Amino acid sequence: MGKQVAIIGAGISGLLACKYTLSKGFHPIVFENSSSIGGVWTKTVETTKIQTPKEFYQFSDFPWPSSVTEGHPDQNQVLNYIQSYAQHFDLLKHIKFNNKVSGIEYEGPSGDEMQAWSHWGGTGEPFSSGGKWKVVVEDKQSLSTKIHVVDFVILCIGRFSDVPNIPEFPPNKGPEAFHGEVIHSMNYADMDYESAAKFVEGKQVTVVGFQKFAMDIAMECSNTNGVANPCTVLYKTEHWNLPDYLPWGFPIAYLYFNRFSELLVHKPGEGILLSLLATILSPVRWGFSKFVESYINKKLGLAKYGMVPKHSFLQEISSCMIATVPEKFFDRVREGSIILKKSPCGFGFCQEGILVNGESSPVKSDLIILATGFRGEKKLKDMFVSPTFQDYILGSPKSILPLYRECIHGRIPQLAVIGFSESISNLYTSEMRCRWLAELLGGTFKLPSIKEMEKDVEKWDAYAKRYASSQYYRRSCIGALHLWYNDQLCKDMGWNPKRKKGLFAELFEPYGPMDYASS
């Protein structure tokens, strides 16, 4: 019998992992907590669209249908596309829906033996005759629990769902002090579109946060309530959110998603020549950032609202914090149906709503929606029964997640993580990682020693701390080094990393999923 691979999660990463492990002759079994595929796309707000142009957000062997003409498809279009992919490759029969994985436990050599290993799993091989994973699964319909014993586990649980990030507050300044209702954006997204509109209708709503979800919810509140009951957006940090991907009419992909753009930054593991080149070209790097920043400022009128960020656009993209502003968002700000309010030093709750630290008058509210993100690291940690593995997977709180190639922890055998670290297009990146993992499982290549993998992680950590925001570098973002990262995967798999025809195209044309359609 072939090796059994447990895949946890049937979002985009889980479907890709299923497809590519099948292609190598393995037997995947996908456990999905909900009743449908699609991950974060199954529950979102009505106005949500994909963040990147669809050319960057597609499967390399299953392009968007010609019927989808929009550059940024909406939730229903994305879900239909994902479902078509799953049906086309006959993946649904491998998925167990309404099956929640409550924990995974490794059964094999002792902790002391594993600690002495110099290679992943002791031998560097992805499978071991002496070790198996026990996957504890709760069937939500029959309310029964079953243990599956498998040869390998792929965690595709993402970081933007399930475990809400609720800020901590001093005593008597938390949500309990507020006489209205407090929910997380996750709860809002759980409602259908009509119910969500009715829920906010006629209420003074305050949305806490200023990322994509926060802006989308504010727009929906504005659509429902207008200027009669304006929605307040309470934010801490300004961001270079994009109005579109054409700064001054020039495609941003030519500034940040090609090889030339990556010559401008210092890269993990680069040689002296590339390091020198990045230093010499630093004025160009600065110029690219200023070019985009000037456009965003002009187009959105950020200066009028005191919302010009203090950091560079390069830092924004290196932190994977780029979001597209909903169409007409700042028109709503100008008309007064959305109110922007900064809270630089934090806030607390009071009876009438929110009290920004240092102010005496509260932001009066009937409903407060916390668009404050998710605790993806806690969700990842809680998958493991072993406290040792829990510590391993998170690593130091002052470093990026310690995953080699953003997939493998050298001291956790027979397991991979897909879709946790971020990029410009998570679908594109997850597919490359799943193809790399499938080749690893199939024996195409072996991993280096644990020490070498840890040294490589340290280099990526230094890169993240150099270019990403100190607040967000743990997101392990490869957004500004997508090609450098893909090149490493290609070299591991024995593929030619250069996919374009001619030197000019190789340097200046943007790379996307279709460049990797074949090996």
Distance CA 50, CA 57 (A): 8
Structure tokens belonging to residue 395: 């690593």
**Residue pLDDT tens, the chain, 519 long:** 589 999 999 999 999 999 999 999 999 999 999 999 999 898 888 778 888 889 999 999 999 999 999 999 999 999 999 999 999 999 999 999 999 999 999 998 988 889 999 999 999 999 987 899 999 999 999 999 999 999 999 999 988 888 899 999 989 899 999 999 999 999 999 998 899 999 999 999 999 999 999 999 999 999 999 999 999 999 999 999 999 999 999 999 999 999 999 999 999 999 999 999 999 999 999 999 999 999 999 999 999 999 999 999 999 999 998 889 998 999 999 999 999 999 988 999 999 999 999 998 999 999 999 999 999 899 999 999 999 999 999 999 999 999 999 999 999 999 999 998 888 888 999 999 999 999 999 999 999 999 999 999 999 999 999 999 888 888 889 989 999 999 999 999 999 999 999 999 999 999 999 999 988
In degrees and rounded to multiples of 5, residue 55 shows phi and psi of -65, -25
503-511: long-range contacts (C-beta < 8 A, 24 or more apart)?
Answer: 506/259, 507/258, 507/259, 507/260, 508/254, 508/258, 508/259, 508/260, 509/254, 509/258, 510/251, 510/253, 510/254, 510/257, 510/258, 511/257, 511/258, 511/259, 511/482, 511/483, 511/486
Distances (CA, A) of 195 to 198, 199, 212, 222, 409: 5, 6, 21, 15, 43
Distance CA 244, CA 68 (A): 19
Structure tokens belonging to residue 436: 């790399």
For residue 473, give the 3-state DSSP assignment.
helix
Query: What are 138's strand-pairing partners?
Result: 100, 145
Q: Which of 64, 70, 13 is nearest to 40 (CA)?
A: 13
Check if the beta carbon of residue 171 is closer than 8 Å to that of residue 191.
no
User: Residue 322: its pLDDT value, please?
Assistant: 86
Length of the chain counted residue by residue = 519
Q: Which domains does the chain have, with CATH numbers?
A: 4-161+375-447 (3.50.50.60), 245-322+448-518 (no CATH)
User: Residue 1: its pLDDT value, please?
Assistant: 55
Check if the beta carbon of residue 252 is closer than 8 Å to that of residue 335.
no
Check if the beta carbon of residue 492 is closer than 8 Å to that of residue 501.
no
Check if the beta carbon of residue 467 is closer than 8 Å to that of residue 460.
no
Check if the beta carbon of residue 210 is closer than 8 Å to that of residue 216.
no
Check if the beta carbon of residue 203 is closer than 8 Å to that of residue 411.
no
Longest dimension (CA), the chain: 69
In degrees, to the nearest 5, what angle opens at C-alpha 135 toward C-alphas 129 and 141?
A: 150
Q: Which of 272, 270, 322, 278 is nearest to 296 (CA)?
A: 322
Question: In terms of DSSP bridges, do strands 363-364 and 353-356 run parallel, antiparallel, or are they unpaired?
Answer: antiparallel
Regarding pTM above 0.75, the answer is yes
Task: Please report, to the nearest 10 degrees, the dihedral formed by the alpha carbons of residues 409, 429, 244, 258 taken in order.
Answer: 100
